[in-house]
Each structure stands twice: as C-alpha cells, then as structure tokens.
Chain A
Amino acid sequence: DTEVTQTPKHLVMGMTNKKSLKCEQHMGHRAMYWYKQKAKKPPELMFVYSYEKLSINESVPSRFSPECPNSSLLNLHLHALQPEDSALYLCASSQVDSGGSGELFFGEGSRLTVL
C-alpha cells in the first residue's frame, strides 16, 4: 500500500467549477510534489514544495493553485479548468528536496476529467 494518500481518486468537474485535490503523507518527508500525467506519457512536474515553501513552479497556468498547509499535507486547488487539463494528477514526497536525487514516493493519483 502506498504511503502517500490522494483524494479523491476520481473527479469530474465542469469548466466553471472550483475543486481541490488533496495529498497526505506521514513519512516525515519535507519535500512534496505535484505531477501531471497524460495517458501513455511520463509524469510532468508541476510544483515542488520544500519545507512547506514553494520552491519550483514549472510555469503552470494560474488555474492550478497549490497549497501546503503543513509538512504532511499538499493541496491542489482547481478553478476554470479546460478539457485538456484532464489527466492523472500525482502527488509525491521525498525526504528532502535534494534536486530529485532521492527516492520519490508517489501516490496512486487523482483521475481528473474536465467536461
């Protein structure tokens, strides 16, 4: 069983809706990540939080808004999304933000469909 828990597993939303994806880890990791994965493609980095501070934003559109309330939680707030934003959104964590040179632990993802 994954130690990174993501909710919800599936989400369908309209282009005018506001919704949030949630991620939780209890491994004491201080770096947390959001990735987007399209079918049959590799994960694409969106955001990195290190010690609860945003350290990397991969030029993600402002309709995606990350939040790290504490060292165990990571949220991704969604607003005014487009159908092309439909994808699997993966949360990951690692002991520290060591430039990606440590093991990333991924959750099972939230499957998002934008109508």
Chain B
Amino acid sequence: QQQVKQSPQSLIVQKGGISIINCAYENTAFDYFPWYQQFPGKGPALLIAIRPDVSEKKEGRFTISFNKSAKQFSLHIMDSQPGDSATYFCAASMRKLSFGAGTTVTVRA
C-alpha cells in the first residue's frame, strides 16, 4: 500500500523547459517532505525538502510547492538541463520515509 502517490511515471522535456512532478498523500501525520534525485548506478541524494508549515521552497532551479489542504506537493525544475536527467522520488516522513514510485525525467538537448 503506497502512502505517497507520484505522477507522472516518466516525462520528457526539452532543454530550457519546465519539468513538473506531482505527489499526493493521505496521512496528515507526515511532517517532512523531501525529494530525492537518483542517477543510474548511484544511490539517491537529497535534492530539496519542505515542512508542512511552508507553502513553497526554492533552491536554485528547483522549487517545491506544498498544498496542505489538498495534501499535495510538487517539484518544479526550471530551465531543465540534460544533467537533470535522472529519476526523482518524492517522499513523506512520519516515523520513517515513505517513497513515491518515482519519475524518470529525460531532458532532450
């Protein structure tokens, strides 16, 4: 039973475009929402994270938007670059991390 639903499964974007990945959760006890980036052959690495008392967090080209009432959060990658091609996992935490299913992002040059 997946506690965090992530979509889309994959997306292709042109260089310079915007990538948007969406996640939804049901458990209102979750108190920490990170995004992890994973390149082939590597372990996941924390990209950006947010807590539910904040509606938006931006770090460079990466922005998390958080809608507590809708129980949804999303990752926006602005000015997507070929080096952003990776799998992105949203997650939510209470006592432990629950990962979404992942989104494979391909940025075409």
Binding site for B on A (CB under 8 A): 2, 4, 40-43, 45, 48, 56, 90, 92, 99-109
Residues of A near B31 (CB, < 8 A) are 101
Question: Which of B's residues lie within 8 Å of A, judged by CB?
Answer: 31-32, 34, 41-46, 49, 89, 91, 93-97, 99-102, 104
Contact B96 A99 (CB under 8 A): yes
Contact B32 A41 (CB under 8 A): no
User: What is the predominant secondary structure among interface residues of chain A facing chain B?
Assistant: loop
Determine which of A43, A92, A102 lies in contact with B99 in the assembled complex, contact meaning CB atoms within 8 Å.
A43
Other-chain residue from B32, B41, B96, B104 in contact with A45 (beta carbon distance below 8 A)? B96
Q: Which among B45, B96, B100 is the interface contact of A100 at CB below 8 angstroms?
A: B96
Q: Which residues of B contact A101 (CB under 8 A)?
A: 31-32, 93
Chain A residues positioned under 8 Å from B100 (CB to CB):
42
CA distance A104 to B42 in the complex (A): 14
A42-B100, A99-B93 known; A106+B32 contact, CB < 8 A: no
Whether the pair A108, B42 counts as a contact (CB closer than 8 A) is yes
Name the 9 nearest CB pairs between A and B, nearest first: A106-B43, A42-B99, A101-B32, A100-B93, A100-B97, A100-B96, A99-B95, A103-B46, A101-B93
Is B32 a contact of A42 with CB atoms below 8 Å? no
